[in-house]
Every structure is written in C-alpha cells, then in structure tokens.
Amino acid sequence: MLVVDDERGVRTLCADVLQRAGHAVTVAASAEEALTAAATQVFDLVLADVNLPGIDGIELCKRLHAARPETLVILITGFPSIENAVRGMKQGARDYVTKPFSPDELRLVVARALEERELRRENAALRRELAYGNLVGRSPAMRELHANIEKVARADATVLLVGESGTGKELVARAIHYHGTRAHRPFVAVNCGALVGSLLESELFGHVRGAFTGADKAKRGLFVAADRGTLFLDEIGELQPELQPRLLRTLQEGEVKPVGSVDTIKVDVRVVAATHRDLAQDVASGRFREDLYYRLNVIVLAIPPLRERAEDVPVLVEHFVARVCERVKRSRPTVTDAALDWMVAQRWPGNVRELENAVERAVVLAGSDVLDVVDFQPQVQAGVSPLPTAADAGSEYPLARLSLEALEKMHIEKILELSGGQKARAAAILGINRTTLWKKLRQYGVE
C-alpha cells in the first residue's frame, strides 16, 4: 500500500495502523513522490490526502487511475473538503475518510475497499467461467472462434450458430451473452425441437388465463423473461412452420402477444439461434421461411467439429477429468499417453458431448488411479460381449428376427427404464442429444 500525505504525523499514523493490520506500506510526502514510486511498484491501494502541495490528491487519483485502473484510491479529506472528495471519486477514487479519523475507521474503510475489489475479481472470474465453460482448446480453430465471440458479443446483433450436434453451440451462445453489454441480464435458452405446437408457442410468447384448457393462470413467455438479456433458440431449424411467422413478427417489431391476449408487450431481447441443419436448403425446399432465415442470418458463426481440432482432445480430457473428480469428490487419476493417443485418433461423431460422456464413464467406473485405453472403451469397460456378426444369426441369436428399428426401440425403452425416466441422462447414456432422443420417442410412440 502507498500512503501519500504532506503531514508526517498522518503518514506515521496510517503506516502504523496498516502495518499492524498486516499490510506492507510505502509512504510519500507529495504526489510527485507517489507517482515516482507507482512507476516502479504496483500498489493494491493508495491512501492520498486531497490537499497536497503541487499536484493535489484529485489530480493524483486521476493519473493513477489512468495508469493502473485496478489500483484502489482512498482520499483523505477534512470536513470542508468533502465536495473535493466526491470530485475525486468521479476521477476513480473508491472511497474517502475524513480527518480526524480513528485507527478503527481507517481499518474499516481499507478493509471495505479491499473486500469490494476481491468481490469484483471473483465476479469477473465467474463471468469468464460462465462465458467459456467447456469451450477450451488451443487449436487455431478455437482461437479463431474465441476471437469471433469477442467481436460478435460487442455488436449486439442477431447471431446464427451452425454446427453439428455436440459441438457446444449453447456454450458459444452463453459466451456471446456474457462478453456483451447484456451480461448482467438474463440468459434464457429453449430447444425448439423439444416442444411442439401450442406448447412451444406458450413457452415462447406466454399466455393469459383461460387461453386454452388447463391455462388456469397467466404465464409470461421466455421473450419477456429474457427482456434486456439474451434468448437462445436452439435447434431453430426444427421450428414448426405455423410458428415461424409469429417469431418473425417478434424479431421485426420487438413485441410479443401472449396466447389468448389482444395486447402486445414490448421486449428488448438479443436473439442467438443455433442449428445443425442446412437452413438455406430448408428454405429452398419450402420447409423454412425465407424472410425468417434472412432475419436470423445476420451474423453466422460456424462451430468446428471435434475431428477438425483433434489437438484439443487432450486438453478437453484433462478439463473433463478435473470437473468430474470435483463433482464426485474423488482424487484425480492420471490419463496415460496411450489413452490420449487413442482418443485423439477417434472420430467422435457426437463431438465434445460424446467425449465428455466417455470421460465421465471412465472416471466414475475406474478401478485405479490410472486411466488407460480400456477405461475409455465402453464395451470393454462395461464388460459387454462383442456385438454378434451376421454369421452368428440363427437359433442361438433370436434377436436376428427383429428389425433394426425394433431393436433400437427396445434399447431406448430399456435405457429410459434404467435411468428412471430422466431423458437427459438417457440421452447421455445413448450418446445422442436430447433433441434426437425426443424425435426417437415420437417416432416409436414411446410415452
């Protein structure tokens, strides 16, 4: 810490109080001395008198803040100079203390300023974690993606994310939100393929009481919930044709009309949409509205599949191992080089989501503190016999009489049963995303 005061008594008092509180203290008798010291040493906090000879405390605060915005400045002022202290706070001072002050007052003001700075650091770290989550990697593709996220976040325009399932489109959407001007407002996500018809309409736009059977109370929609924040429309390509005009109007007019209502509600929402489909082809086939496509297609970010950034696999594996171990409260195992090489060589059709599931299974089921290739191979790991070949079909293999669809339906039903009906968990075990599972359930008529 740096104490700046032209009165030796004040300097001595402040230095003594702060040193007793455990802080290293440097003293200066003028602003010029303080600036010289600050040029060669970084101070967490500067305690400066307003009425200094030559350069006063307010100008000193301004110069310190310009050079190192993270340095805290607390001004010392007499009662008649409180207005000057307020002016100093406009120049970047964090707080002020009035003369005469007691040691307890000084300790309280300094402790409060340091606690506030620590809280800001923790909030910044949390925002970074929320922003990037599992978007880790050092490959050129990931570095380019991070750079594009930074640019797009500041633009506050509609963004369309395109990429295969499991590449982390929602993570990119969150990164855009938390790096933008709306970071302190809500981030709301909805999967357009998980809900159908009136359910999705009510979810997006809300409804009034009595709008339909079962609407015993009014409900605000996700557009209203995301007001002044970001709404993430995942799998936008699955949006039913009858809802596309309503969404287009909302994007154009900035207002929503709840189901059953005659009144509209103004909303200020940034929309980030995502799809694994070729929307341009869907427009050509008439499945997706052309005007809605152009409304969404303002800024496009392509999310690279994992097979195009294989050099990131070892980094992701270590990241997921650490996260799983923290969650299940176990010591962190070592992943062998052979296991990492094996995983780098895989195609990972389910991308990052599939890799994360493989790591989670390996960590949870591992019998030692070393994870090798066998731990990441589900068939070997679970003790499952190899799948039968065509030559095995016959009386010894009764499943040969079933079609592939029938087998798939049986398998999905069994996994749902084993997962207690938790569709997110079932999808993870099956190695597919939730949208694909919902489609399969509808296809096979599974309740």
Helical segments of 54-93, H only: 57-67, 82-90
pLDDT in tens, 141-175: 999 999 999 999 988 899 999 999 999 999 999 99
Name the region of 148 (left: φ>0; alpha: ψ -120 to 50; beta: rest): alpha
Q: What is the mean pLDDT of residues 19-33?
A: 92
Q: Which residue has the higher pLDDT, 269 or 263?
A: 269
**Residue located via tokens 């706070």:** 89
CA distances, 231 to each of 91, 234, 295, 390 (Å): 37, 9, 15, 49
- What does the alpha-carbon distance between residue 413 and residue 244 come to, in Å, rounded to a whole number? 33
The answer, yes or no, to whether residue 68 has pLDDT greater than 90, is no
CATH 3.40.50.1980 fits 2-126, yes or no: no
Angle between helix axes 103-132 and 169-178 (nearest 10 degrees) is: 150
The distance from CA 294 to its chain's CA centroid, rounded to whole angstroms, is 27
- What does the alpha-carbon distance between residue 239 and residue 233 come to, in Å, rounded to a whole number? 9
**Residue located via tokens 């309409």:** 201
> Residue 111 corresponds to which tokens in the numbers above?
């402790």
pLDDT in tens, 218-261: 888 899 999 999 999 999 999 999 999 999 999 999 999 988 88
Q: What is the mean pLDDT of residues 22-48?
A: 91
Name the region of 286 (left: φ>0; alpha: ψ -120 to 50; beta: rest): left
pLDDT in tens, 304-356: 999 999 999 999 999 999 889 988 888 899 999 999 999 998 889 899 999 99
Average pLDDT, the chain: 85
Question: Looking at the DSSP assignment, which residues form a beta bridge with residue 207?
Answer: 219, 259
**Which 3 state secondary structure label does DSSP give 191?**
strand
CATH number of 307-444: 1.10.8.60
**Is 2-126's fold the same as 133-304's?**
yes
Helical segments of 346-403, H only: 351-365, 378-381
Q: What is the mean pLDDT of residues 64-81?
A: 81
Task: Report the 10 Å Cβ neighbour count for 381.
Answer: 15
- Give the CATH fold of the 133-304 domain: Rossmann fold (3.40.50)
pLDDT band at 379 (very low <50, low <70, confident <90, very high): very low
Q: Are 168 and 303 in contact (CB under 8 A)?
A: yes
Each as own residue / partner, the long-range contacts of residues 276-282 (CB below 8 Å, 24 or more positions apart, any chain) are 276/162, 276/163, 276/164, 276/165, 276/235, 276/237, 277/237, 277/238, 279/160, 279/162, 279/236, 279/237, 282/237
Q: Which residue ranges make up each domain of the chain?
A: 2-126, 133-304, 307-444
The answer, yes or no, to whether residue 95 has pLDDT greater than 50, is yes
Name the region of 418 (left: φ>0; alpha: ψ -120 to 50; beta: rest): alpha
Q: Residue 259 gets which letter from DSSP?
A: B
Q: Collect all residues with Cβ–Cβ distance below 8 Å to 403 and sequence separation of at least 6.
A: none
pLDDT in tens, 115-147: 888 877 776 665 555 556 668 888 999 999 999
Residue type, position 48, single letter: A
pLDDT band at 282 (very low <50, low <70, confident <90, very high): very high
> Residue 32 corresponds to which tokens in the numbers above?
């010029």
pLDDT in tens, 166-190: 999 999 999 999 888 898 899 999 9
b/e sequence 422-444, b meaning 16+ C-beta within 10 Å: eeeebbbebebbbbbbbebbeee
Q: What is the mean pLDDT of residues 189-202?
A: 84
Angle between helix axes 423-430 and 404-418 (nearest 10 degrees) is: 130
